[in-house]
Amino acid sequence: MRATLLEARLHAALDAAGNDALRRRVLDVLTVYSPASVGLYWPLSGEFDIRAVIAGWLAGDSARRASLPVITGRDRPLEFHVWTPDMPMQVGAHRIHEPTSGEVITPDLLFVPCVGFDADGYRLGYGGGYYDRTLAAFREAGKVPVTVGVAYDVCRAGTMQREAHDIPLDVVVTEGACYPEGKPGL
């Protein structure tokens, strides 16, 4: 299933109108939740590139902060380090770009990339468990950000196979909808 969804996502990412619609949905999320800080992701092949949206959001208020994940160990939760659009980056684990700030924060709202998802907010990632461990660590620390999955409609599956450690996202936004459906303001 993962391979099929990755291929579908690659094709969906080429649709300019779909990406414009997804940008608007991400902006709607930022408006509805009004976070002071967000965690985002460095886009991999086929993932929606959220960086320009967040750069614009940061420019609207100097008190706002953004952060990107840093992998500190294979079986460890992600750390979110402060990021600015003009910051020098370094290549980290899995050849993913990471900020060089070294300043760790817990975001108020966390955008999570999805390979696949279901209408209940469960997601399929790459299989490394990084976000599962991270969300569990946030819960244990009592610092739970609003979690927002970012995906394309073609990546919606009937029902994701769930394991005991899986934590559903609060919201998943796509170019055509918001899940769970009827989420106020989205």
Q: What is the pLDDT of residues 72-94, one digit of tens each?
A: 998 999 999 999 999 999 999 88
> Is 131 part of any known ligand binding site?
yes
Residues of the chain with pLDDT under 50: none
Give domain status of residue 67, yes or no. Answer: yes
Backbone Cα Rg of the chain: 15
37 is a domain residue: yes
The answer to whether the annotation marks 125 as part of a ligand binding site is: yes
Question: Per the domain annotation, does 15 fall within a domain?
Answer: yes
pTM value > 0.75: yes
Is position 76 annotated in a ligand binding site?
no
Residue 134: inside a domain, yes or no? yes
Q: Tell me the H-state helices in 34-154.
A: 51-59, 130-141
Asked whether residue 127 is marked as a ligand-binding residue, the answer is yes
Show the domain range for 90: 2-179
- Ligand-binding annotation for 128, yes or no, is yes
Cβ atoms 172, 121 nearer than 8 A? yes
User: Which CATH number covers residue 101?
Assistant: 3.40.50.10420
Residue 186 falls inside a structural domain: no
- Residue 130 assigned to a binding site: yes
92 is annotated as contributing to ligand binding: no
Q: 124 a known binding residue?
A: yes
Let me know if residue 9 belongs to a domain: yes
CA dist 66 and 1 (Å) reads 32
The answer to whether residue 126 is domain-embedded is: yes
**Residue 184 located in a structural domain:** no
Secondary element (H or E) of residue 80: strand 79-83
Q: How many domains does the chain have?
A: 1
Taking alpha carbons only, the member of 116, 136, 134 closest to residue 126 is 116
